[in-house]
A and B are shown apart, each in its own frame.
Chain A
Amino acid sequence: MTDIVNDESQQDLVTLTIDGVEVKAPRNTMLIEVADQAGVSIPRFCYHKHLSVAANCRMCMVEVEKAPKPLPACATPVSEGMKVYTHSELALDAQKGTMEFLLINHPLDCPVCDQGGECELQDVAMGYGGDVSRFNERKRVVRDKNIGPLVSTDMTRCIHCTRCVRFGSEIAGVSELGATGRGEFMEIGTYVEKSLSSELSGNVIDLCPVGALNAKPSRMKARAWEMVEQSNISAHDSFGSNLIMHTLRNEVIRVVPEENAEVNETWISDRDRFSYEGMYSDNRLTQVMQKNDGEWQPSYWSDALHSIAQTLKQYDAEEIGFLVSPNQSNEEIYLTQKLARALEIKNIDHRVNQIDFEQQHADPAFPWLGQSIADVGKQDAILIIGSDLRSEQPMLAHKVRQANARGAKVFVVNPHYCKFHMPLSGHVVVKPQEWLAKIVGLLAELNNSSKHNVPSDLNMLLSTGKVDSDMAGIAKTLLNVEHSSVLIGNLMQLHYEYSSLRAISYWLSQLTESSFGYVSTASNSAGASLLGALPHRTVMSKTIDEPGMNYQQMIQSPRKVFVLLGLEPEWDCVLPTQTLKALQQAEVVIAINSFTTEGMREYCDWMLPIKCYAEAEGTKINMEGRWQSYFKVVDSDDEIKDGWKILRMLGAELELDGFDYVDIDDVRQEISQSLDNSFGFSNELPSLPKIEIKNWDEGIVFSTGAIPIYSIDSIVRNASSLKQAQDLDESVMMINSIDVEKHGLIEGKWVKVSQDEDSSIFKCVINNKIEPGTVYIPRGLPRSEKLGGVYAPVQLKNLSVA
């Protein structure tokens, strides 16, 4: 006997038999779900466990005793004493009948169909289809649609299961595909020609049970049975989605989700699905390169390591700075800091998206979400402060949306307008210069009504707090619900008042008994913090007495030698111009990277090629503290080395102790030995900064902006299909019509945007969702690299004649 018990409804169980086997299941569960868990297979097309029940394909017909006709198992709730036959004559007759109808209009082009060999329709037809068609009339033909660079269409093959349509409205939160027309003329499509805009759109490829929707970049590249599949994890955000990579002849052909109920369920973002193309970009660095008198020349690893070792020995430790990308693996980060510290180099940092380090001693051991990812979906209220969530964390945004669909109230307080795919209970857009005052107001409101108190140091500040009506509702909800969260995002970390904003947000969570969480952006921000790519902390967050320089200090008083690991500073750093200047001034710059950029060829002296994404193996820690391994799926050129090996060789060259690892497991073992209980999963903020609310002149315009979704790291930036999907005009600056008039700008014409001596030109586009007193300039792009920091005053000057 099989017991199907879900935690939620343990009490109300019913007993039924499926094909003579007795099964217990919660009342009102759909029959197909019970059968699936009991291991009885019922054919289906439209049913999907994470989508609503449509019951429109009619393939899952089964016989239920006392029912006069066969019933669809996906839409029949189980009840006490039910007797179900899935393979009786009646059931089989219904299933075969449905199959025959479905095949009437489905082309028999399996040999040329990309789905062939892994097609649900093909599989089910093997079991339930006839060997000869009785249909002699002409089949229906449907014109293909162009729905963008990611998903290809062969709509004649569509069987109208509507999984893709339901996915849009229920999971992606953006309804783009629909069933237009009626009867024989019904078609799945977008009606008007448009590209799918959802950041999760690629999931319709997996959902489609036939070959109607397929991955466009992988089209006709391999047959399903030729490919080898291997597990991997996402390289782009700290959600850590589980992936399966399909490879053929040492090339990644496509990426699909690996089901993990606790993390990504059955979905992945488009960024995770299509970013593998970045590995095959022309910008890949494939050889050790050395600059000799301004000319780049290929070199040898032995020469490079020898020369770099000499450099590192030759300069004073204080004159050397290490900047590490928070996307690197635990092993790479651990070895980098080990190497630096063995040379007494203290200037090492991965926080290249931060400028306010005043309270770095109060940072948690690693930026933790404050709860598990699965718990996010169970919240009753979520306050997001400073995150363009859909773009930074598409999958976490899905989790928040899941909570919202369950009835959770979601509030957002952001320094610029960001699009959300769910009804928000409060959407406050505030100028970056007034952000602090705004949330201080919220804290003041809460302080009056909460049974908890803020530290006395804050009382003075709160007495000046001005409460806005739009914030009062947030306070009330957070106080009244049972499970609430305050999540702070990347946009806050970029801000010049990060310490203060974070402290106020933390106390918001404390007064409302909410969990407090960091939404860290990069795929291994957690590992980079925990394993000591920090100037003030070493492995396992152990404090260093005399901290080294942080990112901003290294840039502001430029070091003579820079070692960049996996970083493209002009696009990855919050202060692009200043960083570039510092690198140009430096005497030696060594980049260990998978790609080259124009900037890199200018400021670097050495470029060492490192394996990229699916070519390497390693571990990363996601936002909930989950330690996950990723694996080598394809080989790279011999010249391209593993990051950990480069660091080991460099350590050996420097004759440092403890760099005699044989394989990566040795490194991993050493890391796990250093693991102790000295850090906990805690986001407690032990100290308060001195918080002051500055008043800015009304006339000053501040820049705002976020990195576009497909420019977030070097792999994604080099992925061609994602680049097409981004469809972004890099030259556009968005501004409110009030400011256009005030500063004498002309819509559609060029504007010079300057910050001190830095400037860049942009096309002026009016968007009244942008707060007056701010301009929105997308970050991390060639044009914005010529500007200083985000959230800083800018001057605007019209360059065109009316």
Chain B
Amino acid sequence: MSKIIPKELSAEVQEHVVDWLKRFPDDQKQSAVLGSLHAIQHEHGYLPVVQMDALAERLEMPAIAVYEVASFYSMFELEPVGKHTIAVCTNLSCILRGGEDVLNYIESKLNIKCGQSTADGKYYLKNEEECLAGCCGAPMMQVNHVYYENLTEAKVDEILDVLD
């Protein structure tokens, strides 16, 4: 995990930034910050400070303003985390349908608590996740960017075990 993070944005991230910038007026460059942060997180798995600094310079905004956005949204990780992100919904509909049991099962299966990553760096169990608007399929979870609904222990095994 102690990989050295480059101070510059990669060519791929740059491309995303340019793409986002196209959608906003020239004097509103900071509007591209959310989309660009996604691109950085996609590349590094989290948001390293040096990369946020590079983005701040690219979008001509104060670095602290980028940190504010990054720390506000729960979809952004500020520290390195496991490769696969698991978010289990424990809001009303899911909890009524056993969402908490699903969460407990994953915690014991992976031997980690909410907010932790497995020692092998493979799985990351996100902190308490709020409603992801999948109530009709409760209990549900999101693994990386995909929704999985009507979960059972067997189904969870099936989903997590195939991840590499």
Q: Which residues of A contact B (CB under 8 A)?
A: 169, 174-182, 190-192
Chain B neighbourhood of A178, CB < 8 A: 62, 64-65, 67-68
Chain B neighbourhood of A169, CB < 8 A: 62
In contact, A191 and B62 (Cβ under 8 angstroms): no
Which residue of chain B is the closest to A180 with respect to CB atoms? Answer: B71
Q: List 9 A-B contacts (CB under 8 A).
A: A175-B62, A175-B65, A177-B64, A178-B67, A180-B68, A182-B72, A182-B74, A192-B49, A192-B67
Interface of B is mostly: helix
Interface of A is mostly: loop
Within 8 A of A (CB), among B68-89: 68, 71-74
Give the total of B residues in contact with A, Cβ under 8 Å. 11
Task: Tell me which of B62, B63, B68 contacts A179 (CB under 8 A).
Answer: B68
A182 to B62 CA separation, bound complex (whole angstroms): 19
Q: Which residues of B contact A (CB under 8 A)?
A: 49, 62-65, 67-68, 71-74
Which residue of chain A is the closest to B72 with respect to CB atoms? Answer: A182
In contact, A181 and B72 (Cβ under 8 angstroms): yes
Which residue of chain A is the closest to B74 with respect to CB atoms? Answer: A182
In contact, B49 and A182 (Cβ under 8 angstroms): no
Which residue of chain B is the closest to A177 with respect to CB atoms? Answer: B64
Chain B neighbourhood of A190, CB < 8 A: 64
What number of A-B contacts does a CB cutoff of 8 Å give?
34
A291 to B143 CA separation, bound complex (whole angstroms): 82
In contact, A191 and B72 (Cβ under 8 angstroms): no
6 closest Cβ pairs, A-B complex: A175-B62, A178-B64, A191-B67, A180-B71, A178-B68, A182-B72
In contact, A181 and B49 (Cβ under 8 angstroms): no
A764 to B74 CA separation, bound complex (whole angstroms): 45
Q: By CB atoms of chain A within 10 A, which of B64, B65, B72 has the most?
A: B64
Which residue of chain B is the closest to A176 with respect to CB atoms? Answer: B64
Which residue of chain A is the closest to B56 with respect to CB atoms? Answer: A175
Chain B neighbourhood of A177, CB < 8 A: 64
Chain A neighbourhood of B71, CB < 8 A: 180-182, 191
A176 to B67 CA separation, bound complex (whole angstroms): 11
Chain A neighbourhood of B74, CB < 8 A: 182
A179 to B49 CA separation, bound complex (whole angstroms): 16
Which residue of chain A is the closest to B62 with respect to CB atoms? Answer: A175
A292 to B62 CA separation, bound complex (whole angstroms): 59
Which residue of chain B is the closest to A169 with respect to CB atoms? Answer: B62
Chain A neighbourhood of B64, CB < 8 A: 175-178, 180, 190-191
In contact, A180 and B62 (Cβ under 8 angstroms): no
A191 to B53 CA separation, bound complex (whole angstroms): 12
Chain A neighbourhood of B65, CB < 8 A: 175, 178
Chain B neighbourhood of A191, CB < 8 A: 49, 64, 67-68, 71
Kindly provide the distance from the CB of A798 to the nearest chain B CB, expressed in whole angstroms.
Answer: 28
Kindly provide the distance from the CB of A318 to the nearest chain B CB, expressed in whole angstroms.
Answer: 59
Chain B neighbourhood of A175, CB < 8 A: 62, 64-65
Kindly provide the distance from the CB of B5 to the nearest chain A CB, expressed in whole angstroms.
Answer: 14
Chain A neighbourhood of B73, CB < 8 A: 182
A304 to B25 CA separation, bound complex (whole angstroms): 72
Chain B neighbourhood of A181, CB < 8 A: 71-72
A269 to B68 CA separation, bound complex (whole angstroms): 27
Chain A neighbourhood of B49, CB < 8 A: 191-192
Which residue of chain A is the closest to B68 with respect to CB atoms? Answer: A178
A78 to B109 CA separation, bound complex (whole angstroms): 62
Kindly provide the distance from the CB of A164 to the nearest chain B CB, expressed in whole angstroms.
Answer: 12
Kindly provide the distance from the CB of B119 to the nearest chain A CB, expressed in whole angstroms.
Answer: 26
Chain B neighbourhood of A192, CB < 8 A: 49, 63, 67
Kindly provide the distance from the CB of A759 to the nearest chain B CB, expressed in whole angstroms.
Answer: 36
A178 to B70 CA separation, bound complex (whole angstroms): 12
Kindly provide the distance from the CB of A195 to the nearest chain B CB, expressed in whole angstroms.
Answer: 14
Kindly provide the distance from the CB of B150 to the nearest chain A CB, expressed in whole angstroms.
Answer: 31
A190 to B74 CA separation, bound complex (whole angstroms): 19
Chain A neighbourhood of B63, CB < 8 A: 192
Which residue of chain A is the closest to B64 with respect to CB atoms? Answer: A178
A181 to B71 CA separation, bound complex (whole angstroms): 5
A177 to B62 CA separation, bound complex (whole angstroms): 10
Chain B neighbourhood of A174, CB < 8 A: 62
Kindly provide the distance from the CB of B18 to the nearest chain A CB, expressed in whole angstroms.
Answer: 22
Kindly provide the distance from the CB of B50 to the nearest chain A CB, expressed in whole angstroms.
Answer: 10
Kindly provide the distance from the CB of B79 to the nearest chain A CB, expressed in whole angstroms.
Answer: 13
A192 to B50 CA separation, bound complex (whole angstroms): 10
A540 to B87 CA separation, bound complex (whole angstroms): 79
